[in-house]
Structure 1
Amino acid sequence: MEYLNLDAQVGDLSGVLEPARYLDHLPSISGDLPPGARAFATDTDHYDFQSRRCVKDLTPRAVRSAGGEEIEVEFQHNCWKHDHDLVIRYTGVSSFIIDPTDEDRGAGLGTVILDEILPHRDGCSHEIACWGGTLTIVCRDLQAIWTEADCSSKW
């Protein structure tokens, strides 16, 4: 992450997630982002930890090739926070990297901590930090689609 701090210090408390530096920088770079990436990055709910449309605590569920240079990443809701799932469609993908923090773990990336979308010569880069690793996609543009989730778990 270039601007997001995933291990900020606030008083005596460490390990605090702090998007302020990125949010302060976002207005100066948003015009350089492709339209879909700009809409997703600048959505007021995106970094609002209390919002049902904040990416924090979503879980990557599936990655699918949509043919050619298109990839879809599906994120599952967390019923305590979200009422929608998220699918991000990436077009013109020039780079796709999954970097697990522990290669032997095999448990997937875990839940999303935060993400950062930046301009790139190929369009934009989208880095998604999760508890178990990082997913980084460079693409021409992306489209974020929120779909209603089924939170009727049977306890």
Structure 2
Amino acid sequence: MQYVNLDAQVGDLSGVLDPAGYLSHLPSISGDLPPGARAFATDTDHYDFLSRRCVKDLTLRAVRGAGGEEMAVEFQHNCWKHERDLLIRYAGVSSFIIDPADEDRGTDLGTVVLDEILPHRDGCSHEIACWDSTLTIVCRDLKATWTETICSARRRRDRS
């Protein structure tokens, strides 16, 4: 990650997740991001750890179309925090890297820590840090969609 700090120091506490550097840099680069990437990166809930639409604590469920020009990455919610799953569709994919690579692991990269979307000559780069690995996709643009889950339908029904 270039701007998101995954190991910040706050007083005597180390290992703190801090997106502040990215959030302060985002206004100067958001105009250089493709429209879908810009909408996702600048969503006020994206880096709000208390928000139900924060990427932190999602779990990577599937990667579809890896190696192709069109890809989809599905993230599963945590019922204690999120009410929806996240689906990100990538168009014009020019690079897809899992680091460290481990073919036996598949998509089991651990829980999402944070992500960072930056302008790239091919459109944008989307780096997703998980506890066990990092997923980086370079593409022309992306579209992020939060989709309803059984948890959200049940909560809505229970509130009625």
TM-score of the alignment, normalized to the shorter chain, above 0.5:
yes
Counterpart code for 1:106: R
Show structure 2 runs of 5+ residues with no match: 155-160
CA contact (8 A) 1:100 1:109 kept: no
Helix, strand or coil at the partner of 1:49: coil
Q: Percent identity?
A: 81
Distance 1:81 1:10 in 2: 24
* Contact 2:56-2:114 within 8 A present in 1 as well: yes
TM-align CA RMSD? 1.8
TM-score, scaled relative to structure 1: 0.92
Preserved contact between residue 67 and residue 96 of structure 2 (Cα < 8 Å): no
Q: Which residue of 1 aligns with 2:149?
A: 149
> Which residue number corresponds to residue 62 of structure 2?
62
Distance in 1 between residues matched to 2:3 and 2:120, nearest whole Å: 15
Correspondence list, 1:1-155, <5 A = 1-65=1-65, 68-100=68-100, 103=102, 106=105, 108-151=108-151
Give the 3-state SS of the residue equivalent to 1:48 in structure 2. coil
Give the alignment's TM-score, normalised by structure 2.
0.90
Instruction: Report the number of matched residues.
Output: 151
Where 2:81 maps in the other structure, the secondary structure is coil
Deviates more, 1:28-37 or 1:62-71: 62-71
Q: CA offsets, 1:45-97, max 9 Å, x none?
A: 00000000000000010011189510000000011100000000000000000
Gaps of 5+ in 1: none
What secondary structure does 1:28 align onto? Answer: helix
Displacement of 1:100:
3.3
| Residues 65 and 71, structure 1, Cα contact 8 Å, conserved in 2 | yes
> Aligned to 1:87, what secondary structure does the other structure show?
strand
Q: Deviations over 1:1-48 (max 9, x none)?
A: 000000000001000000000000000000000000000000000000
Give 3-state SS (helix, strand or coil) of 2:29's partner: helix
Q: Which has the higher helix share?
A: 2
